[in-house]
Chains A and B, each alone.
Chain A
């Protein structure tokens, strides 16, 4: 019966409860979406493999490295495979049609990235055709590309119209893998450059190293960099995770701001729910005093108030979490270009649940204190 009382108390003021539940739902939704944005920012880091290193020019990523480094890197102890590529930076038809596109050495690259799943026949077709390209499923869907379609990209770093034939469409091994990328033969780029801008030929933007012993990644990275020490193009080799993190850290201030905003939202709703609970309990103080008079201990009353607070916040939190999925999908559709992997992580749900519980408990603290400490005689005097 006490549970029945708890439920009836929670819905005694239907409008107030409904508004509080809505407020809580919106807060949890906003919190979860912001956490999803943060997670999306880190998607590249999360998808990084422990057995891959990235080598780039020590000065900056915008400076290239000679192709000739490839064989010297391969000679370093602990290196199993070496691939390489260039950020191509082209767009499709209009500049707003931006997506990640790379010129890569296809055979070694695909070997190093088994998380890109390509049907064998399409992979063979891609490897055979120097003008061939492989595109992610989401990207193909976005532009309605199908295998054997001819696609022209407009170069920015490498100016001109670049024609490709879609030879394969890859899927990510799971939904943490970015399937909005575009890969084509590095040789196609290099041969064109040899004809047009010869000084830019035989240069690569980055090397990708497959390790034979991932636990020796740091030593291998140091060994690679040691090879090119004091050369005209010194290298910086780091794990793929560290490489991805270097991009994320450029936006660290924004991420910190988003984190803070997500916490502020929770603090605001905490104050709103605490106010609601305080109002409700103040209105019902007389009833709690009567319950005390009848012999109900403070712990019963505390349980009822806490339960009511958790019920209201729980409903709001649940609604907010359920709404997060369609909202995240809408968000992904709207800004999918910037967040190729935009999914609601289990951690985000756990954080949403934790935030809901914390709000529920904190909102109940003051009313519980008030009810458990009010003296019965004093309380009865107030009732009349």
Chain B
């Protein structure tokens, strides 16, 4: 498999007043196309920051990040926005759907920037909602859906543009066990059956075990993943 994400000696620090707080230190990582990678680590270890850098939501202080061969650290803010629209699908912990738009409209949202015709957009949206098995809920507003259903709509929104990578930040963090299983199964399918590259940040060992590979971050440095015990999975 070819590398889809290459991270070379990336560092990132946040300024807190006069104090510079290092979050990531000399991170180097290669993620292969079609991978389902779980990023784990304690709170404040830099998992979300690394995910944001890979997704082009934040800028690294140093180092290079290539996604699909594009050095995203050299892109301007505006080019980065356009790149994200075409290459990254986002799944958030709290779904982050727009409450005044229906499930269909929420999924259609990223396609507004694609230049597709209305008919093509409708076809894409129907396909994406079919993938998450929510065709019958397309006219429902987020408030009328359960947490699991909202997260599935969010997954449909993430995949509707057929992005290069899918990034998920604690996708099961706000879900009950049953819904979390459904969402994880869906992400497994996206990676396994459809060949999508999925990078998932999670605290949840059960979620992490669904991934085919795992990286562990501690104090901003990549480390070997600790063994996850059966009791942790429960």
What is the interface of chain A, defined by CB distance below 8 A to chain B? 1-2, 4-5, 8-9, 12, 286-287, 290-297, 375-377, 380-381, 383-384
Closest 6 CB pairs of A and B: A295-B85, A8-B100, A377-B58, A376-B57, A290-B96, A295-B84
B13 contacts which chain A residues (CB < 8 A)?
A: none
The distance in angstroms between the C-alpha atoms of A296 and B81, with both chains bound, is 7
Which B residue sits closest to A287, measured CB to CB? B98
Q: Contacts A295-B81, A384-B94 hold; do A377 and B86 have CB atoms under 8 A apart? A: no
Q: Which of B67-122 contact A (CB under 8 A)?
A: 78, 81-86, 90, 92-94, 96, 98-101, 105, 108-110, 112-113
When chains A and B are docked, how far (Å) is the Cα of A242 from the Cα of B90?
72
22 residue pairs of the A-B complex, CB under 8 angstroms, read A1-B112, A4-B101, A4-B105, A5-B98, A12-B100, A287-B96, A287-B99, A293-B55, A293-B90, A294-B85, A295-B84, A295-B113, A296-B112, A297-B78, A297-B81, A375-B58, A376-B52, A377-B58, A381-B48, A383-B92, A383-B94, A383-B96
Q: How far is the CA of A381 from the CA of B81 in the complex (A)?
A: 19
Nearest Cβ distance between residue A285 and chain B, in whole angstroms? Answer: 12
Binary CB contact string for chain B from 168 to 186 against chain A (1 if under 8 A, 0 otherwise):
0100000000000000000
Question: Considering only CB atoms and an 8 Å cut-off, how many residues of chain B contact the other chain?
Answer: 30
Using Cβ atoms and an 8 Å threshold, which residues of chain A touch B108?
1
Once the chains are docked, how many angstroms separate the CA of A293 from the CA of B48? 14
Tell me, yes or no, whether B49 is within 8 Å of chain A by CB. Answer: yes
- The docked-state distance in angstroms from the alpha carbon of A137 to that of B165 is 80
Q: Which residue of B lies closest to A8 (CB)?
A: B100
Q: Is the interface of B mostly helix, strand, loop or mixed?
A: helix
Identify the interface centre among A294, A296, A376: most chain B CB within 10 Å of its CB. A294
A12 to B141: give the CA distance in the assembly, Å.
13
Q: How far is the CB of A139 from chain B (nearest CB, A)?
A: 58
The reply to whether B112 and A293 form a contact with Cβ atoms under 8 Å apart is: no
B105 close to A286 (CB less than 8 A)? no
Tell me whether B57 and A5 are in contact (CB under 8 A).
no
Instruction: List 8 extra interface pairs beyond A293-B57, A294-B84, CB under 8 A.
Output: A5-B98, A5-B105, A287-B99, A290-B96, A294-B109, A295-B81, A295-B82, A296-B85
CA distance A290 to B85 in the complex (A): 12
User: For the complex, what is the distance from the CA of A12 to the CA of B92, rounded to whole Å?
Assistant: 23
* Shortest Cβ distance from residue B164 to the other chain A in the assembled complex, whole angstroms: 13
Taking CB atoms and an 8 Å cut-off, the chain B residues in 196-218 that contact chain A are none
Residue of A nearest to B87 (CB): A295
CB distance from A284 to the nearest CB of B (A): 9
Q: Which residues of A sit under 8 angstroms from B93, Cβ to Cβ?
A: 384
Quick one: which of B83, B99, B100 has the most chain A CB within 10 A? B100
Is B113 a contact partner of A380 (Cβ separation < 8 A)?
no
| Known A-B contacts A4-B105, A287-B98; A377 and B57 likewise in contact (beta carbons under 8 Å) | yes
Contacts of A295 in B (CB 8 A): 81-86, 110, 113
Residues of chain A lying within 8 A (CB to CB) of residue B57: 293, 376-377, 380
A4-B83 Cα distance, complex, nearest whole Å? 25
Interface string of B4-25 (1 = CB under 8 A from A): 0000000000000000000000
Within 8 A of A (CB), among B120-148: none
B113: chain A residues at CB < 8 Å are 294-296
Q: Chain B residues near A286 (CB, 8 Å)? A: 96
Q: Point out the residues of chain A lying under 8 angstroms from B98, CB to CB.
A: 5, 287, 290-291
Let me know if B101 and A5 touch, CB within 8 A: yes
Evaluate whether A292 and B100 lie within 8 angstroms (CB atoms) in the complex, with A1-B112, A375-B58 already known.
no
Contact call A294/B90, Cβ cutoff below 8 A: yes
In the assembly, what is the distance between CA of A290 and CA of B86, in Å? Answer: 15
Query: How far is it, in angstroms, between the C-alpha of A292 and the C-alpha of B99 when the chains are bound?
Result: 16
Could you say which residues of chain A place their CB within 8 Å of the CB of B49?
Answer: 377
Give, as a whole number of angstroms, the nearest-CB distance from A319 to chain B.
Answer: 24
Nearest-neighbor residue (CB-CB) of B95 within chain A? A290
Residues of B close to A381: CB separation below 8 A: 48
Complex CA–CA separation, A173 to B96 (angstroms)? 65
